[in-house]
Amino acid sequence: MGIFSIFLLPIIVFLAVMIYRASKQDGFSLSKRVGITFLFLLPFTYDIVITNILGAYYCLIAPPHPKTKIIKKVEYPISIYWEDSVYPGFNKEDRKLMIINYLDGKHLKTMALNGPDGKIYVYSAKEGDFKSFKYDKKFKNRYTQYTHIIMQNEKVYTKQTMPKTNYTVTFNEIPLNSFSKHFLYSDETKVIENNTSKVIAYNRRYMRFFYNIFPDFEVGNLYYSPDPVCGERISLAEVTFEHNKWNFNNRRLRWVDINQKLYNKYIKGEK
């Protein structure tokens, strides 16, 4: 399919040109020639037309406006609960990376993460914890050892029994109607200030699927085309919590990209 699709577009264009020229020789008017050529191209390009019409609606008309907004930034959140309903949840390796990325014991002292098993995993650190331990060479680096130490004191709760946090970061798929979901995918990240229940930042993005004449032959196993139709490709938590001022660490948060994970879920049917 991938190799075939490389040659599909020039073949379609060549045939469209031939049809246009043939209709011209038959004496058809310009409008008829264009109409005949359009009808020929429609089976190959209808998804491009529909996707762009829907994209214009969701991006320019449907709320929220704008799609990305930072209302308030917080340098010292102290405690955050991350709830990911798309991936869904943070497995053990993800939780390790989240500890390395955020749990510095100064700006963030308590971190709660929902797991794929429905449980809530809570980790705590104090300022200076990262510098206080003696490095053991059996670990890959100090961050790996730090994660190991933090996870030894892991606490597990349900959502009903988990401790209260100052902020909640949610990541949810936005359900589209039965027609639109065949052409677009949407998800939304929100940062909520728990004591006021106010949303202090949000990012809703719309992603288009690969067009029929431009399928996913370049990368493979992706659910949607990587560039958003609208909405930003940003880590909303890092922007909102001014993570760049923490001087802790910054590593990739996911072993498997969410785009590939959704491909496995919706296309391959994996759980």
Distance CA 224, CA 230 (A): 13
126, HSE (Cβ side, Cα atoms, 13 Å): 5
Q: Name which of 237, 247, 271, 218 is nearest 70 in CA terms.
A: 237
Q: How many residues does the chain have?
A: 271
User: By the 8 A CB rule, do 217 and 1 touch?
Assistant: yes
Question: In which residue are the tokens 């705590």 written?
Answer: 124
* Structure token digits, residue 60: 């320019």
User: By the 8 A CB rule, do 83 and 171 touch?
Assistant: yes
CB proximity list for 48: less than 8 A, separation 6 or greater? 211, 213
What are the residue ranges of helices labelled H in the chain?
A: 2-25, 30-56, 92-102, 129-132, 142-152, 236-240, 258-262
Give the C-alpha distances (Å, rounded to integers) separating 161 from 34, 158, 184, 267: 65, 5, 37, 36
Distance CA 44, CA 37 (A): 12
pLDDT in tens, the chain (271 residues): 334 444 555 665 666 667 666 766 666 677 766 666 666 666 677 888 899 999 999 999 999 999 999 999 999 999 999 999 998 899 999 999 999 999 999 999 999 999 999 999 999 999 999 999 999 999 999 999 999 999 999 999 999 999 999 999 999 999 999 999 999 999 999 999 999 999 999 999 999 999 887 777 666 788 999 889 999 888 888 889 988 888 776 555 554 588 888 988 888 887 6
Query: pTM, whole model, 2 decimals?
Result: 0.83
Burial class (CB in 10 A: 0-12, 13-18, 19+), 228: buried
